[in-house]
């Protein structure tokens, strides 16, 4: 089996590349270990807590015991299904802040500044404001990826934005437009009441061209002959086969599996590879390093009015919502329920937001456990640019073994300070006039916890991953010893091999990673086709005029 391009991973970036290559008439094989994304658990937006906790759709990885979080092992879901993590995520759509991408360029990823990536964001989007305002000039209108806004009918969504305003923060109509900073509506990859995953947006239309073949198999390693990638060795239906690439192999297998595949193929830190008996093809000490993630807390309040989603937290109501969604694709089932958001700065002197809020009108965990208090609501919050760095390494030379994932969360003292700030700023928002009709008392952390030491104990016991791992095959200049790929996403030291997914991010972006991951696939597809990049944008993003002296 051969094609011009072989892509490993039918996830956010892989599907986008398959679509653009197929559109240009190229023959593509996409290798995906997971199976079908059909069925209501994935396609119904409100059911989002199910697929990320189902072994059928998830690689089921966990971190090593985290030394700064009391030795806890944190869940690390990654999509093992058509659509990858875009089929099991929370469907929140955030581009990232303009200054994130300018930082990428400063870190050696030339051609990846905000002016360079904004045209790709516009190309990939079909944006729908659903009557909630926004910045049309900054958005795309005819791309494959539909981005919409929830109905925002619950009064708590508006209360969250008003409370932010009362606390002195900015309000923004479109955090993906000119002005990220502030409180406003949240955006979701939902269209026609369905999860609009990379599979629905890109892969299915690509397959219809006849240029894309999807192969269900486990990639074991990249086949490299005389310094050039010529194919991918896979296990398919119990047999080892090689799928040949006439032009290039592209790894888009996630920030956990792409570095693992590079190392299994002999590309990585030489001593680590030798320790596992793997012949070294390219000594790249940066492979698997620079692992970053977002950690978050759920600040939960009990509600004095029975208006939260808790009233639907029973089998009868869930059944009715499910039935309405199945037959009409409307109702509560048609939204992820994340419909208000905020991006704020933690202190004066921080030029752009470094704290994100997801607001949810129920007090519940990602694993679907509701707070014992009953009616409540919560804000997910955490620092966006932690200085802590972790790593992904091999457990053994066996391709079936899980990688060793060490996030090293909270290893930098500033992380603790930033998290305490998040808790205190959130409490202040919930104490505003707009929430007075709704707040009964604080569920967690609980009003009794006030001192730094008490808050640190809560953070240690309750911080959870936001499931945004990235950075493990960092993009940088070709002469940077710790870079893994160059600014064209080519693996340094090997011909015919690229990486295009969240592993190439030099630094984590401000917000959820699905949008930036798809953008990487879009931009790398032009590089694969040898096209000139889209013309740079001249749009100037909003920066708080008093950022040097004021926190809000």
Q: What CA–CA distance (Å, rounded) separates 339 from 274?
A: 49
Q: What CA–CA distance (Å, rounded) separates 133 from 155?
A: 18
- Residue 262 near residue 403 (C-beta atoms within 8 A): no
Catalytic residue of the set 68, 146, 468, 544: 468
- Residue 494 near residue 228 (C-beta atoms within 8 A): yes
Burial class (CB in 10 A: 0-12, 13-18, 19+), 451: exposed
The DSSP string of 131-148 is: TS---GGGS-SSSSEEEE
- Residue 443 near residue 302 (C-beta atoms within 8 A): yes
Q: What CA–CA distance (Å, rounded) separates 147 from 136?
A: 13
Q: Which long-range contacts (CB under 8 A, 24 or more apart) does 527-530 make?
A: 527/488, 527/489, 527/498, 528/5, 528/17, 528/21, 528/247, 528/248, 528/250, 528/498, 529/20, 529/21, 529/24, 529/26
Residue among 410, 419, 463, 466 nearest 67 (CA): 410
541 C-beta neighbours (distance < 10 Å), count: 17
Residue among 472, 463, 509 nearest 112 (CA): 509
Q: What CA–CA distance (Å, rounded) separates 128 from 102?
A: 27
Q: What CA–CA distance (Å, rounded) separates 115 from 523?
A: 13
Burial class (CB in 10 A: 0-12, 13-18, 19+), 324: middle
How far is C-alpha 283 from the geometric centre of its chain's CA atoms?
29
C-alpha dihedral (219, 220, 221, 225), degrees to nearest 10? -100
Q: Of how many residues is the chain composed?
A: 552
Residue among 497, 176, 202 nearest 356 (CA): 176
- Confirm whether 468 is a catalytic residue: yes
- As annotated, the active-site residues are 468
């Amino acid at each position: 089996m051969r094609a011009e391009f072989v892509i490993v991973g039918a996830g956010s970036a892989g599907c986008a590349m398959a679509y653009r290559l197929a559109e240009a008439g190229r023959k593509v094989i996409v290798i995906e270990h997971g199976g079908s994304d059909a069925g209501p658990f994935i396609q119904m937006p409100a059911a989002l807590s199910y697929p990320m906790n189902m072994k059928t759709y998830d690689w089921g990885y966990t971190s090593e015991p985290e030394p700064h979080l009391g030795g806890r092992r944190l869940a690390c879901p990654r999509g093992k299904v058509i659509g990858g993590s875009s089929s099991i995520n929370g469907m929140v759509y955030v581009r990232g802040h303009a200054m994130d991408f300018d930082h990428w360029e400063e870190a050696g990823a030339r051609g990846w500044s905000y002016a360079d990536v904004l045209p790709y964001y516009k190309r990939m989007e079909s944006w729908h404001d659903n009557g909630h305002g926004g910045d049309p000039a900054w958005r795309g209108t005819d791309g494959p990826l539909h981005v919409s806004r929830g109905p925002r009918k619950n009064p708590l969504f508006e209360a969250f934005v008003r409370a932010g305003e009362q606390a002195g923060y900015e309000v923004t109509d479109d955090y993906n437009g000119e002005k990220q900073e502030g409180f406003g509506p949240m955006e979701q990859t939902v269209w026609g009441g369905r999860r609009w995953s990379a599979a629905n947006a890109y892969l299915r239309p690509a397959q219809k061209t006849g240029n894309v073949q999807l192969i269900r198999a486990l990639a074991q390693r990249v086949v490299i002959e005389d310094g050039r990638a010529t194919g991918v060795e896979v296990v398919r239906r119990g047999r080892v086969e090689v799928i040949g690439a006439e032009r290039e192999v592209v790894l888009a297998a996630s920030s956990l599996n792409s570095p693992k595949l590079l190392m299994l193929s002999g590309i990585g830190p030489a001593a680590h590879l030798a320790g596992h008996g793997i012949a070294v093809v390219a000594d790249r000490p940066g492979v698997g390093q620079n692992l970053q993630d977002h950690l978050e807390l759920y600040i939960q309040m009990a509600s004095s009015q029975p208006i939260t989603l808790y009233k639907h937290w029973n089998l009868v109501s869930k059944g009715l919502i499910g039935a309405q969604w199945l037959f009409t694709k409307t109702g509560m089932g048609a939204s992820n329920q994340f419909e208000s958001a905020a991006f704020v700065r933690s202190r004066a002197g921080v030029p752009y937001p470094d704290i994100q809020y997801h607001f949810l009108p129920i007090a519940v965990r990602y694993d679907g456990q509701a707070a014992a208090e009953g009616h409540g609501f919560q804000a997910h919050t955490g620092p966006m640019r932690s200085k802590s760095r972790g790593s992904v390494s091999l457990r053994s030379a066996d391709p079936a073994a899980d990688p060793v994932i060490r996030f090293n969360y909270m290893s930098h003292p500033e992380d603790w300070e930033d998290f305490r700030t998040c808790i205190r700023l959130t409490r202040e928002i919930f104490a505003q006039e707009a929430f007075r009709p709704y707040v009964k008392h604080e569920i967690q952390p609980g009003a009794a916890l006030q001192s730094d030491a008490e808050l640190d104990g809560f953070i240690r016991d309750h911080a959870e991953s936001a499931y945004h791992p990235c950075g493990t095959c960092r993009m940088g200049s070709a002469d940077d010893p710790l870079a893994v790929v160059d600014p064209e996403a080519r693996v340094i030291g090997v011909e015919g091999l690229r990486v295009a997914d969240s592993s190439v991010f030099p630094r984590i972006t401000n917000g959820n990673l699905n949008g930036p991951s798809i953008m990487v696939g879009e931009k790398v597809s032009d590089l694969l086709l040898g096209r000139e990049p889209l013309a740079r944008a001249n749009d100037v993003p909003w920066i708080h005029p008093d950022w040097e002296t004021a926190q809000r």
